[in-house]
Every structure is written in structure tokens, then in C-alpha cells.
Structure 1
Amino acid sequence: MILVTGATGNLGSKVIAHLLNKGTAAKDIAALVREEEDASTLKEQGIHIRIGDYAEIDSLVKAFAGVDKMLLISSNDRGAVENRTKHHINAITAAKAANVKHIAYTSFVRKPGHENSAISGFQNSHVESENFLKESGITYTILQNCIYQEMILAFIGEGVAETDTILFPAQDGKASWVLREELAEAAANILITNGHENKTYPLTNTTSVGFEQIAAYISEVLGKKVTYVSPAVEDFKAILAKAGVPDLYIGMFTMWGTGIAAGMMDLEDTTLEILLGRKPTSVHRFIEQVYRIEQEQSLA
């Protein structure tokens, strides 16, 4: 039995879809959810629904009963970073109690110097979780995912086609953006094949891209010049605050922008390509698809 946590989330639901598409029977898949009513679609597909909460170990032990392999998708708790670490430790502790044989854990790509970067808290949570998993005695695979290509759209905002400007404090930093769909497919491949025991995989694209290049890609699709502007961090915060952006998002955008500026996600690797059996989708292709669709919809 393969169990996927966060099964109704964007990544978990895609992993389950890939497991099914690759021939895993629904009866051999379990989905961990907090509320059963959220999993009606999965239930209709014949997938086992397990109810559990990262904050409640007893519920997890019960939910993990009979599971051989588990994909532990990192917590998306919006509270203190320590909450996430505790959630991961709870899940690993419960998996050990339930005799789960193998855990694949979705971590995040790391580079030297991350301890002093803008994303240090986020990274430290993954470091602590990885170490706890390694020391648990359970066979593991650590998936160090890089930043999603979908996040590009959040960072540049919805009005680029109207303003012709990308405003983001990433300076000339680059990131090895990856498509969430392909990270889900790679995770599914790992869950249904052997040879991944006690390995750590950096899952990045083969080419890193910065916002100057992203602006050029958008310009190409829109047929007009889009300019990238990287303001000072405090100026960026003030601009967003004046626009009414909530503090939570201002903090998040600033953290990621500064992290990219420091090169914390600039890591090119072929592991994802090997796991997929093809080159990952490029940022150029992603941007082309997104803005081409938007143009077609606006003309319809």
C-alpha cells in the first residue's frame, strides 16, 4: 500500500493521478486527509481515505496502518516554522510506530550558505526534518524539490500585460524553476520503482533562469517590451503595502525575492531529467503556454 499525505493539495493530488496513470491500482493507494468530505473525488476513484492530522500523532498512527511506502509532503502550515518541523517529526514518528517501510519526503533544494540567507528558517525546518528521518531507522528517499514554475506567476502578478513591468527584488539572481506537475510525476516514479533507498535527490531544472530573461520571454509572447525592475527591499515592501497587499504576502514575496537574489535556488542538475526520462519543461515553454492561453482567452 502506498500512502500520499496532503492528498487533496496541489502536489499530492497530482502524485495520485500519476500513480493511477502508471498502473497502480486504486485499491493499493491510500490518501491522508484531515476531513473526509474533502476527499470525495478520491473516494469515488476507489482510493482508501485515511483521516489524520500532522498535529495529532495518534490519528496518524491509525491512518498509516498497513502502509508500506509513504510520500510525506511537507506541511503547509502558515504559522511559525517550528510548527512545520513538529508536523514532520510527528508524521515520521507515527510511521515508525505503524511499521511503514519507506518514506519519501518532499524537502527543498539547498546550497551552501543557506543558513545565513533570507530563507534560512524555511530551510532549517527541512534540515531538521531530514535529519530526524535519517535517524529514524526507516528507509527513506529525500526529494529536494526546487521552486515551482507556478510561483513565477505569483511573483510577477496578474497585471504584467497591462503595466509592461515586472517588479520584484530578485536582482540578477536566477532559480532552477521546475513544474509542479513534473515533480509529482517524479515522486510517483520513485514510489513505484526500486533503487531509491536512502538517497537524496536534488530535483531541479537543467537551466536556471532570472527575471530579466523571464521578462524577455513574456515580451516575446505579448509582442511588446516587458521590463524587469528590481527595487531595494524596503522600497518593494512600501510599494506592496501602499497597494494593500497583506503583510503575510509582503513577507513571503520579500523572502523569496531575496533568496533568489542570493542564488539560493540557482542549482542546475539532471536528476529530475533522469527520473522523468525526458528533459523537464523549460521556463520559456511554461511562460509561452501561460501567456498564449491568456491571449487567446482575451481575444475570444
Structure 2
Amino acid sequence: MILVTGATGQLGSQIVENLLTTIPSNEIAVLVRDEEKAKLLKEKGVQIRIGDYHQPESLVTALENVDKLVLISSSDFNNRIGQHKNAIDAAKRVGVKHILYTGVSINDIQTSPLKGLLEDHFQTEAYIKDNGFTYTMLQHSLYLDVIPMFIGEQVLETGVFFPAGEGKVAYASRTDLAEAIAKIVVSDAYDNQSLPLTNIENYSYADVAKILTELSGKEVSFVSPTPEVYEETLKGFQLPEPIIQMSLAFAAGIKNNDFDTTFSNLETILGRKPQTLKTYLQSVYIK
């Protein structure tokens, strides 16, 4: 039995949909907090297990008879390592053999401006290994899907305004990552491996502006403001403070070239080239 956590989220739901094309639905279970949100999966024959990272006993019950656990990192940053440990402890208690964990591909977490935000990924990986599981570390690049969060919906009119300097990122799409993860889950070729899953090209925000100019026929400018000016601008839009601080942190990490290293794993596992920045931007901004 394979269990996927976070199965109603954007990544988890796509992993499950890909698994359903390769293995019987009765061999797949999902962990959800709200059964109603998993109604469509239940109709497809997927087992629904109710559990919450903050409630350890619920996880013990939910993980019964599971062999492989796809542990999707929590999107709740409130003691995220504690949440992950609850899931890993429950998995050990009921005899789960293999944990696949969605972490991050980053050049050096110790020197990254994002250390405070992302170090718990590496603490989670260490905890899985220390507890003796067969493991596969699915180390994701940043998602192509976050670019619109940083540059906005009106970028063709406003230009790209983001304090990332000349920093580049080997962005990958959630769709490609979900397809690759589903292939990894049903194989034993990746046991006890750490797999950086990135695009085969990297891009700066100047590249984003250049491609949008090419696609739209409009001149799309790129400005990398100081963090202080960027923060004041976002405050002017009355964005929540946590969103502002997270945007600033990721801009600093990108400027530091934390995510610029490319790896071929994703392309190899997919058996094709990953989605490009140009194709992604076209799908989002060119109607």
C-alpha cells in the first residue's frame, strides 16, 4: 500500500492522479484532514485515511498497513519539523518500510538567506535516515508555478519588479515533478537516494521579462529594486506581512543563486525535457 500525504494539495493531487494510471486504485491511500475534499478520490477507489500532522495518534491509525509513505512537506510553517517528526514516528511505529520525502534542492542551506525557512527540510531528511527507513529524498527546485506570485498578474503592463538581481533558478513545474514522483514511487531503482529534481536550464528575472516581451509583443521591463523599496511597495498593496517577508526571503535566496544548479534527474525520469519557462509563461500570460 502506498500512502500520499497532502493529497488534496496541488502537488499531492497530481501525484495521485499519475499513480492511478499505473497501479490499481485499491493500492493507493491518501492522508487528508477533511474527507469531503477527497470525495472524488474516494469515488475512484482510493482509500481515504483521516489524519493531521498535529495529532500523532491520528497518524498512527492512518498509516496502518502502509509500505511506502510519500511524505509531502507541510505547508504550515508552525513547527514544521515537529509535524514531520510526528508522521515519521507514526510510520516507524506501524512498520512503514520506505519514506519518500519532498524536500528542496539548494546549493548550501548553511549560507542561504532562506536557512531559517528551509533548514527543516534537511532536518527532516536526517530524521528519516536516523530512524532506519529505506528513503528517497525528492529534492525539488522552486516551482515554475511561484513566478506569478512574485511578478503579479498585470506584469505585461507593470513590468517585472522583483529584488532578485541577476540570480538564476532551475525552475520546474509541479506537473512535471508529480509525474516524475509517481514513476519513482512505483520503482525500486531510487531506494536510498537523494534526487535533486530541477529543470535542465536556469533563468533569471531578466530572462522572464525578455521572454514575456517576445511572447506578448510588448516591451516588458525588469527592475530589481532594493529590498527596502520592494517591501514598501508591497505594503502599499496592503499584502499580509508574512507574504511580504516570505517574498523578500525568496528574492534574497534567488539573488544569492541558491537555486541555480541544474540536474538531469528530472529529464531522465520523465524520459523527455521538462516544461520550459517560455511554455509556462505562455500558458499563464498569453491568452
Q: Retained in 1: the 8 A contact 2:138–2:197?
A: yes
* Native 8 Å contact 1:110 1:123 kept in 2: no
Distance 2:262 2:35 in 1: 40
Report how far residue 125 of structure 1 moved.
0.4
Give the partner amino acid of 1:192. Answer: V
The SS at the match of 1:158 is: coil
CA distance in 1, matches of 2:87, 2:261: 29
- In structure 1, the residue matched to 2:61 is 62
Structure 1 residue 291 displacement after superposition: 2.1
Secondary structure at 1:209 match in 2: coil
Structure 1 counterpart of 2:258, one-letter code: M
Amino acid at match of 1:269: F
Q: In angstroms, what is the RMSD of aligned CA positions? A: 1.0
Aligned match of 2:13: 13
Instruction: Establish whether residue 121 from structure 1 lines up as the match of residue 120 from structure 2.
Output: no
TM-score between both structures, scaled by the size of structure 2: 0.98
- Matched to 1:187, the amino acid is I
The equivalent residue for 2:107 is 111
Q: Output aligned runs, 1:142-153, within 5 Å.
A: 142-153=137-148
Percent identity, please: 42
Q: Which residue is equivalent to 2:75?
A: 76
Which moved further from structure 2: 37-46 or 225-234? 37-46
Give the Å deviation of 1:290: 2.0
Aligned counterparts, 1:125-136, within 5 A: 125-136=120-131
1:186-244 deviation line (CA, Å, top 9, x unaligned): 11001111121110000001111000011011111110110010000011101111221
- Counterpart CA distance in 2 for 1:60 and 1:20 is 23
Query: What is the deviation of 1:289?
Result: 2.3
Letter in 2 for 1:115: Q
3-state SS of paired residue (2:59): helix
Aligned 1:65-214 pairs, distance under 5 A: 65-79=64-78, 83-112=79-108, 114-163=109-158, 165-214=159-208
Residue identity in the other structure for 2:103? S
TM-score w.r.t. length of structure 1: 0.94
Gaps of 5+ in 1: 296-300
Letter in 2 for 1:133: I
| C-alpha displacement of 1:37 | 1.5
For 1:217 and 1:98, the matched residues in 2 are separated by 50
SS in 2 for 1:50: strand
| Unpaired segments ≥5 residues, structure 2 | none
Following the alignment from structure 1 to structure 2, what is the Cα–Cα distance between the partners of residues 115 and 173? 18
Q: Could you report, residue by residue, the CA deviation over 1:67-126 in whole angstroms, capped at 9, with x for unpaired residues?
A: 1111000000043xxx110111111111011111111000001212x2232210122101
